[in-house]
Structure 1
Amino acid sequence: MHKLKNILIACIVALPITILTGCSSTSAPKSDYSVGYDFSKLKTFSQIVPPQTPDPLSSKRIEQSIAAALVSAGFVNQTEAPDFLVSYGFKVDDKPKTSGVSIGLGAGSWGKSVGGSIGTSVDLPIGSDSEKVQTIFIDIVDPQSQQLIWRGSNTFDFEDGGEAKAAQTHATVSNILAQFPPKKKQ
């Protein structure tokens, strides 16, 4: 009976960890690059600003975040003869809201008896049945050959604009550019 109690307690502790890690909704940035390119020679950059975008507020936030992330990584922003050019794009999509599922587990003992229970609850989205998702793409281009040498992207969910969206934009751009320049696998 003591062994059954220990197994039940171990399951109760392990199940929420398994559920939480399996249901994680954070996305990791993705990147790709030109395998033969020597990224070690890159020290200076200049931005290529798209001529017109459907959302000038997001464009300005992305431009500022790119410059801040690259400068904090040690690159120098220079318009004359930069080592690489940086361009970006973004899109906003609707995605269905997901409902949350909670699972509760319990265990107890009375005298020589051991018992357990499982309970669930479901959260249903109220109001709009979709949310906005913004995907940001950042391209690094060789200025001499005009060839793409690195591309990174990531997405984030948002409800409204303003300070929260500005902070999410900055964090997303920083996460993307944290992968630049690419690290060689040992």
Structure 2
Amino acid sequence: MKTLKFLPVLLLFVLGSCCSVRVASDYDKNVEFGQFKTYAFYKNGIDKVEISDLDKKRILRAIDETMAAKGFTKSDNPDLLVNFFTKAREQVSVNQFNAGWGYGWGWGWNPYFWGGNTSVSTSTEGTLYIDLIDAKKKEMIWQGEGVGYLTQDSEKKDEVIKNFVAKILEQYPPQKKQ
């Protein structure tokens, strides 16, 4: 029963091919980010994420690849702890097209004949949050957020999740405004 309840979340990071990821980040402005060189995953936090184990592995692999590309090293004694969590939200769209002559000018609402057409569609918007925590102080120093629309196409999951994570982590380290 628990699996059915979180079915939309299981599909969280599979985005449609035409949709883009919107990203944002926030950080502690008093932190010198250049001091961090190593990382590890915050197991207690990641174990609580309610998505499939397969999707967790995909996200962890994508974070590993992106952090390595940024010059970070995975360590048993890390400078940073990496955590993530997810949210999903169902969107409902109702579109109505009315055709025919009616009251007023030109084409419009018709109470007598030619009813028109109504269509309803749903989509799932998912959000991935990636938290970076100072391992020594046990304080969050940076959070990245990515939002995008989801689909059930399992063929594209690895590529899409990798892209999703890379877009979020492009924001790290933050560029302090002068």
Task: Tell me, yes or no, whether TM beats 0.5.
Answer: yes
2:26 partner letter: D
> Number of paired residues?
137
Q: 1:75 aligns with which of 69, 72, 75?
A: 72
- Quote the RMSD (CA, aligned, Å): 2.4
Judged with a 3 Å threshold, the aligned counterparts in structure 2 of structure 1 residues 160 and 73 are, in CA distance, closer, same or farther, namely same
- Deviation string 1:114-155 (CA, Å, 9 cap, x unpaired) is xxxxxxxxxx996x6211222100000011111000000011
Of 88, 102, 106, which residue of structure 2 is paired with 1:92? 88
- Distance, in Å, in 2 between the alignment partners of 1:75 and 1:98 is 47
Larger Rg: 1
Structure number with greater CO (CA < 8 Å, separation at least 6) is 2
Structure 1: state its 5+ residue gaps. Answer: 1-24, 100-123
* Counterpart contact for 2:82–2:132, Cα < 8 Å: yes
- Note the residue ranges of structure 2 that are not aligned, 5 or more in a row: 1-18, 96-116
Q: Which residue of 2 aligns with 1:29?
A: 23
For the 8 Å contact 2:21–2:167, the answer to whether it is kept is no
Q: Structure 1 length normalisation: TM-score?
A: 0.66
Q: Give, as a single letter, the amino acid of the residue that structure 2 aligns with 1:36.
A: N
- Could you say if the C-alpha distance between residues 54 and 36 of structure 1 is closer, same or farther in structure 2, counting changes exceeding 3 Å? same
- Look up the match of 1:132: 124
Superimposed CA distance per residue, residues 92-120 of structure 1 (whole angstroms, 9 cap, x where no aligned partner): 22112487xxxxxxxxxxxxxxxxxxxxx
Please give the alpha-carbon distance, in whole angstroms, between the structure 2 residues aligned to 1:77 and 1:181. Answer: 17
What's the TM-score, normalizing by structure 2? 0.69
4+ residue stretches of structure 1 with deviation over 4 A?
none
